[in-house]
Chain A
Amino acid sequence: EIVMTQSPATLSVSPGERATVSCRASQSASSNLAWYQQKPGQAPRLLIYGASTRATGIPARFSGSGSGTEFTLTISSLQSEDFAVYYCQQYNNWPLTFGPGTKVDIK
């Protein structure tokens, strides 16, 4: 099983600032990595797949990078609606696994 870890657990950022979330896989996930955003009381929303491809309708301020075991989600200029929990997920191997999440909150 590929174990996913994320850092930091919580990230405090001011609106307009840049936020960077890291995701690490215990073994190579190639580029088979997705990112999701979840707000309280809502279902997750797909942001990024293939490590760097934005899903339909996702603003350009969201970007993803990395391959193998190290991945990064960057939000270039945080908007109020971006404060949420972010999860990475690998789909390279069964079982599919998620990271524990990173909460991005207001500084």
Chain B
Amino acid sequence: EVQLLESGGGLVQPGGSLRLSCAASGFTFSSYDMNWVRQAPGKGLEWVSTISGSVGSTYYADSVKGRFTISRDNSKNTLYLQMNSLRAEDTAVYYCAKDRAPGIIFDMWGQGTMVTVSS
């Protein structure tokens, strides 16, 4: 059974940093692109970032480019999102999502971790 378990969310002040993790199990982690998608309270879904399975190519939404860094450790089956220079508008539930090739299709999702940016 595919499982994705996010952690690392919490309350952080504007300008602060946070690192999210997503522990994956039940599939060959290194073979799949992985993603972060967020959802602000009461709002819709917003794609944040994607990292390819083996080569490690990365892609970012303009809203987070230069502030967030996606990475992965295939030996630990873990996906990360390093978030720096956080802003109030980054407040959201952050979901880790597995890709279903071909194309970036989010076929399995974690339960999400809440990030609140507030003073």
Contacts and interface: CB of A to CB of B under 8 A. Distances in A.
Contacts, number: 55
Interface-central residue, A38, A46, A99, by most chain B CB under 10 Å: A46
B1 interface: no
Contact of A96 (B50, B110, B111): B50
B106 A44 contact: yes
A106 interface: no
B6 to A, nearest CB: 10
Interface secondary structure of A, over-half rule: loop
Interface string B41-72: 00011110010000000010110000000000
Interface residues of A, number: 22
Given A34-B106, A91-B105, A46 B100 contact: yes
A96 B47 contact: yes
A49 B59 CA distance: 21
Nearest to B35: A96
A97 interface: yes
B45 A95 contact: no
Contacts of A64: none
Given A49-B100, A94-B59, A95-B61, A43 B44 contact: no
Interface string A16-52: 0000000000000000101010100001111001100
A49 B107 CA distance: 9
The 3 A-B pairs with the shortest beta carbon distances in the complex, nearest first, are A43-B109, A96-B47, A91-B103
Interface of B: 37, 44-47, 50, 59, 61-62, 95, 100, 103-112
11 contacts: A38-B45, A43-B95, A44-B37, A46-B100, A46-B105, A46-B107, A49-B107, A94-B59, A95-B47, A95-B61, A96-B47
